[in-house]
């Protein structure tokens, strides 16, 4: 769950920090560990709803910023010169102000990671830790390159999922609009035509005509009620607790739950591998990636983290806590033998991504014709039931 923490910093004053945590107490502890004085902690539900409703965008696109900064560093510019260059070409005032504050912090003698820590709502802890580790090893450009590659892979998986869902979503939207048009406009007018027919209709046709009469007589209250239901449903779905509950329910479905689990593990292993390759210790990396897992997987990760801290090998701890598949278990053991655990975890993530892509492709090929059939049957049933009184009337005239 995401929390907004209002805290007091001795150098910059009152700041607003947005972070992921299991509870409000955990969010407060994270901020206290950074040296801030906590003033208030609250869930980000209302704020995220307002941002979604108003359509405001992210203050600074992290992937674009990292790519541009990497390009300038590889061209031979210093960190200060690179950020100043990005500030000069930026058109948005809020982004220019953010980059100006970064430059000011660098001129004050702070390192880049220390400057980024002043803006936790823009630069997450994972990003700041990656930069901090690169400062110790002197390979900032390489670390930024790893982060850009990591973000590109996440975006690629997300784009595949979105592309695969576009056509089914269009089918559902079009089918829903057609059914709503029939039930909200056409059926009420047919109901008026058959109101005084005085004939016995089949039960389903009679129910359909009664619905048409109800819509015709109470159209405004019904429309307001339907819009209110959709608004409440949209707000409910935006709540972090709701999303966590939905993920838990999906994971309870045998076939679909395993795919959701593999998708979460792919993100987890990719992020963990990127952090390990950046030189961040395993315990710190596990704590930073805990927020990527939902439901019981997060509890399993806490158990695995405790075992690893006690000296249990990573492969045995992950396997014993249900955070692996047969393939990833073997790959983790190979990574431990070769000492390339970070690279091996990224390979595990790529293997999971390929598996998910194949399953999504198969599911869409099967789901699309079934969806078209269901929508076609629903529209056809409404049309037949709507015209059935006409068939009855024509039969009686003959």
Q: Are residues 283 and 381 in the same domain?
A: yes
User: CA 183 to CA 198: how far, in whole Å?
Assistant: 22
* 37: CATH: 3.10.20
The helix (H) or strand (E) run that includes residue 212 is helix 203-217
**Which element (helix H / strand E) includes 19?**
strand 13-20
Whole-number pLDDT of residue 288: 80
- Could you give the CA distance from residue 79 to residue 18 in angstroms, rounded to a whole number? 26
Same domain, 94 and 39: no
Q: What's the chain's average pLDDT? A: 79
Domain boundary (104, 122, 151) is at 151
Do residue 323 and residue 374 come from a single domain?
yes
Q: Are 119 and 65 in contact (CB under 8 A)?
A: no
**Residue 84 has which token pair?**
């100043």
Which class for 109: exposed (0-12), middle (13-18), buried (19 or more C-beta within 10 A)?
exposed
Q: Let me know whether 176 and 89 are in one domain.
A: no
Residues 137-149: tens digit of each pLDDT:
677 888 888 888 8
Asked if 50 and 67 sit in the same domain, the reply is no
* pLDDT at residue 210, rounded to an integer: 78
Q: Is 34 helix (H, G, I), strand (E, B) or coil?
A: coil
CA nearest neighbour of 295 among 355, 349, 353, 243: 243
pLDDT confidence of residue 23 = 57
Q: Are residues 188 and 328 in the same domain?
A: yes
Lowest-pLDDT range of 8-17, 161-170, 266-275, 311-320 = 8-17
Rounded Cα distance between 380 and 388, Å, is 12
122 and 207 belong to one structural domain = no
Structural domain range at position 10: 2-54
* Domain end marker among 36, 54, 72: 54
pLDDT at 378 over 80: yes
Q: What is the DSSP string of 37-95?
A: EEEEEEESHHHHHHHHHHT---SS-HHHHHHHHHHHHHTT--HHHHHHHHHHH---HHH
Residue 274 and residue 187 share a domain: yes
Residue 141 sits in the same domain as residue 175: no
pLDDT of 271 over the 80 cut: yes
At 55 the pLDDT is 38
146-160, 199-213, 226-240, 307-321: which is most confident: 307-321
pLDDT higher than threshold 70 for residue 52: no
pLDDT digits (tens, 9 = 90+) for 329-363: 999 999 888 888 888 988 998 888 888 888 888 88
Supply the angle between the helices 140-181 and 341-397 in degrees, to the nearest 10. Answer: 10
Q: What is the Cα–Cα distance from 266 to 346, expressed in whole angstroms?
A: 9
pLDDT of res. 392: 67
Q: What is the CATH number of the domain that holds 294?
A: 1.20.81.30
pLDDT tens digits for 181-224? 888 888 887 777 776 554 566 777 778 777 877 877 777 888 88
373 plus 317 within the same structural domain: yes
pLDDT at position 197 is 55
CB-based burial, 233-266: b 16+ in 10 Å, e otherwise? eeeeeebbeeeeeebeeebeeeeebebbbbbbbb
- Considering the domain architecture, whether residues 76 and 207 belong to the same structural domain is answered as no
Count of domains observed in the chain: 3
Residue 46 has pLDDT above 50, yes or no: no
pLDDT beyond 80 at 116 = yes
CA 197, CA 389: separation in Å to the nearest integer? 9
From 368, 347, 370, 366, select the one nearest 358 (Cα to Cα).
366
Contact predicate 304/282, CB 8 Å:
no
Please say which residue of 151, 177, 205 terminates a domain: 151
278 & 353 share domain: yes
pLDDT band for 50, please (50, 70, 90 cuts): very low
């Amino acid at each position: 769950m995401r929390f907004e923490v209002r805290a007091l910093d001795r150098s910059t004053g009152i700041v607003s920090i947005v972070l992921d945590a299991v509870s409000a107490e955990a969010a407060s502890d994270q901020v206290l560990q950074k040296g801030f004085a906590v003033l208030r902690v609250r869930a980000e539900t209302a704020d995220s709803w307002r941002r979604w409703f108003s359509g405001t965008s992210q203050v600074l696109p992290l992937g674009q910023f990292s790519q541009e900064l990497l390009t300038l560093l590889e061209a031979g510019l210093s960190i200060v010169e690179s950020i100043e260059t990005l500030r000069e070409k930026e058109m948005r005032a809020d982004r220019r102000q953010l980059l100006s504050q970064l430059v000011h912090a660098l001129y004050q003698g702070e390192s880049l990671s220390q400057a980024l820590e002043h803006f936790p709502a823009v630069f997450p802890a994972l990003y700041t830790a990656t930069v901090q580790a690169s400062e110790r090893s002197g390979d900032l450009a390489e670390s930024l390159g790893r982060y850009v590659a990591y973000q590109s892979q996440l975006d690629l998986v997300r784009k595949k999922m979105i592309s695969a869902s576009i056509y089914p979503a269009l089918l559902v939207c079009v089918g829903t609009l057609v059914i709503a048009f029939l039930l909200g406009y056409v059926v009420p007018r047919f109901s008026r035509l058959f109101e005084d027919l005085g004939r016995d209709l089949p039960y389903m046709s009679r129910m359909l005509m009664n619905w048409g009469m109800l819509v015709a007589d109470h159209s405004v209250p019904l429309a307001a009620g339907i819009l209110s239901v959709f608004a409440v449903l949209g707000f409910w779905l935006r709540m972090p607790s709701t999303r966590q509950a939905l993920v838990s329910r999906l994971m309870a479905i045998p076939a679909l739950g395993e795919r959701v689990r593999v998708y979460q593990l792919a993100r987890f292993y990719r992020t963990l591998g990127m952090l390990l390759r950046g030189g961040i210790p395993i315990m710190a990396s596990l704590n930073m990636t805990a927020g990527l897992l939902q439901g019981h997987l997060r509890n399993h990760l806490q158990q695995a983290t405790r075992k690893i801290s006690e000296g249990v090998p990573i492969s045995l701890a992950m396997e014993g806590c249900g955070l692996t598949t047969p393939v990833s278990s073997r790959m983790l053991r190979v990574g431990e033998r070769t000492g390339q655990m970070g690279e091996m975890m990224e390979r595990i993530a790529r293997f999971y991504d390929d598996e998910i892509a194949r399953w999504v492709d198969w599911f869409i090929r099967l789901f699309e014709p079934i969806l078209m059939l269901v929508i076609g049957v629903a529209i056809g049933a409404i049309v037949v039931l709507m015209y059935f009184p006409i068939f009855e009337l024509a039969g009686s005239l003959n």
